[in-house]
Structure 1
Amino acid sequence: MSHFTKIQTTIKDLHLLKHALSDLGLHWDQNADNSKDEKNTEQKVDILIKQSNSSHIGFVRNNGEYHLVADLQLWQQAWSLEVFLDKLSQKYAYHSIIEETRKQGFEETEQIYQKDGSIKLVVQRWNY
Structure 2
Amino acid sequence: MSHFTKIQTTIQDLNLLKRALTDLGLIWDTNSSNVKVGENNQQKIDIIIKQDNFSHIGFVWNNNKYHLVADLQLWSQPWSLEVFLDKLSQKYAYHSIIDETKKQGFEKAEQISQRDGSIKLVVQRWNY
Alignment of 1:46-65 (within 5 A): 46-65=46-65
SS at match of 1:7: strand
Q: CA deviation at 1:2?
A: 5.8
- 2:37 is aligned to 36
Aligned residue identity for 1:76: S
- 1:8 is aligned to 8
Unaligned runs of 5+ in 2: none
- 2:96 is aligned to 96
Question: How big is each residue's C-alpha offset from its partner over 1:56-96, in whole Å with a ceiling of 9 and x where there is no partner?
Answer: 00100013100000000000000000000000000000000
Q: CA deviation at 1:115?
A: 0.7
TM-score (normalised: structure 1): 0.95
| Structure-1 separation of matches of 2:2 and 2:63 | 22
SS at match of 2:97: helix
Percent identity of equivalent pairs = 76
Residues paired across the two proteins, number: 127
TM-score (normalised: structure 2): 0.95
Q: CA deviation at 1:34?
A: 1.5
User: After TM superposition, where is structure 1 displaced by more than 3 Å over at least 4 residues in a row?
Assistant: none
Whether the 8 Å contact between 1:7 and 1:68 is mirrored in structure 2 is yes
